[in-house]
């Protein structure tokens, strides 16, 4: 294992602070390293592997499609891409879907579409997009410019112009920034990277009303919250407040790289032939896997399982909070949960890994739990016992 780590560190960009394990295989909620050590995975590839590792249905879909067709570009029609788009449209506010390769690319498309929409209407000066402080929308230049965290942008100035920021859940601050120069408001229903901060009750409705009052578009970044992560197919379904544009990625392909931007016909029609594109976006190989993953969500009642497991997990984390003063808050919804600490979380992440549990930390002080949506109560109990022991050791 050390040889692989040394070789990797010598030839791959050091853009990630990797943990010193080499993962080799996975099944369900478990992964194994090259030494055979088993881990229960509460990271799930950063909220990607919603159905667990190597789900047999998706593996079969990949095998079947691999024997038919990998890639032909978007110069031609394919059945898997069409059927996946139809599946998403039938279950959302949207009329049209644009496929790409990642969440950042989906957000780039959303930013471009919102500006193009007003340009086509003859309002070329209307390009400002308001986003939220502590938001995270990706690491490409447009998505990074929309991100409300200075640490993400450090060293990459100048950012793209036309972005401004307001505190999350502060409708008065947003109202003060609204004008006829604002083309869109962009937000995550739950700020995952920002510390697992949920939109407060009524906030999305108030944002929608402000956008309608000023003629601006509403963009939801559901890259982390989408495809069942919170217990609804899309997190904004809890509030029943539809956007004009929505972006998806992580859980959509259950491990295969795919992003999607969804929009209403009114807004989406601004993208005409040649306005935008993606060579690899929505290949038959990838969309066949994503289509099967989407169908499994319904066939295996994954949303119900997520709600039940999330509720159980949350109750156990609340129990830990009562026992350990180091826990400030328990946050989140469904299986997007966070524990804010009085201390930095890195040492707890490391101790958990040593004991066979993969978790991660955001904002330095918030443990984030985003396991596969098929995580069992037994597996949750094992992690809770591990955390209990670690936290007790910290205060001893």
Which residues are annotated as catalytic?
136, 221, 250
C-alpha distances in Å from residue 231, one per residue of 110, 146, 152, 169, 303: 24, 27, 29, 21, 5
CA gap 173, 180 in Å, rounded: 16
Q: Report helix angle 284-299 to 302-323, nearest 10.
A: 70
In whole angstroms, give the CA distance from residue 284 to residue 281: 9
Cα–Cα nearest to 192, from 344, 366, 353 = 366
Q: Which of 66, 62, 81 is nearest to 260 (CA)?
A: 81
Give which of 146, 140, 101, 128 is closest to 277, Cα–Cα.
101
**CB 75: neighbour CB atoms within 10 A?**
6
Q: Which strand (E) or helix (H) includes residue 229?
A: none
Q: What region does 286 belong to: left with phi over 0, alpha with psi -120 to 50, or beta? A: alpha
Q: What is the DSSP letter of 157?
A: P
Strand partners, 28: 53
The pairing of strands 327-333 and 336-341 is antiparallel
Tokens of 153: 């942008």
Contact 310, 153 (CB under 8 A): no
Backbone angles phi, psi at 27, to 5 degrees: -155, 125
């Amino acid at each position: 294992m050390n040889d692989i780590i040394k070789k990797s560190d010598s030839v791959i960009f050091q853009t990630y602070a990797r943990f010193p394990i080499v993962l080799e295989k996975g099944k369900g909620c478990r992964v194994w390293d090259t030494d055979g050590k088993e881990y229960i995975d509460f990271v799930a590839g950063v909220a990607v592997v919603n159905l667990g590792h190597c789900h047999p249905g998706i593996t079969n879909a990949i095998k079947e499609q691999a024997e038919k067709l990998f890639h032909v570009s978007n110069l031609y029609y394919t059945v898997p891409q069409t059927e996946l788009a139809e599946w998403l449209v039938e279950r959302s506010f949207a009329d049209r879907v644009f496929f790409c390769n990642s969440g950042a690319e989906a957000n780039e498309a959303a930013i471009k579409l919102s500006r193009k929409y007003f340009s086509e209407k003859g309002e070329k000066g209307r390009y400002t997009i308001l986003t939220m402080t502590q938001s995270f929308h990706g690491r490409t230049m447009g998505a990074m410019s929309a991100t409300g965290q200075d640490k993400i942008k450090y060293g990459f100035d100048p950012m793209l112009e036309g972005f401004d920021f307001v505190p999350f859940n502060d409708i008065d601050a947003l109202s003060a920034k609204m004008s006829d120069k604002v083309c869109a408001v962009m937000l995550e229903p739950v700020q995952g990277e920002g510390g697992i901060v949920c939109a407060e009750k009524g906030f999305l409705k108030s944002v929608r009303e402000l956008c309608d009052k000023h003629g601006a578009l509403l963009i939801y970044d559901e890259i982390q919250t989408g495809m069942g992560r919170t217990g609804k197919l899309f997190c904004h379904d809890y509030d029943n407040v539809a956007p004009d544009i929505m972006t998806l990625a992580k859980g959509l392909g259950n491990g295969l790289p795919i992003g999607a931007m969804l929009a209403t016909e009114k807004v989406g029609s601004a993208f005409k032939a040649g306005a935008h594109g993606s060579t690899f976006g929505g290949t038959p190989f990838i969309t066949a896997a994503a289509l099967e993953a989407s169908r499994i969500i319904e066939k295996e009642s994954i949303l119900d399982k997520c709600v039940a497991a999330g509720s159980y997990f949350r109750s156990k984390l609340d129990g830990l909070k009562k026992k350990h003063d180091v826990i400030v808050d328990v946050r989140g919804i469904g299986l997007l949960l966070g524990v804010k600490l009085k201390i930095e979380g890195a040492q707890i992440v490391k101790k958990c890994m040593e004991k066979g549990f993969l978790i991660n930390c955001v904002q330095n002080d918030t443990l984030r739990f985003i396991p596969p949506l098929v995580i069992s109560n037994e597996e949750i109990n094992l992690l809770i016992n591990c955390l209990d022991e670690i936290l007790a050791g910290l205060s001893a």
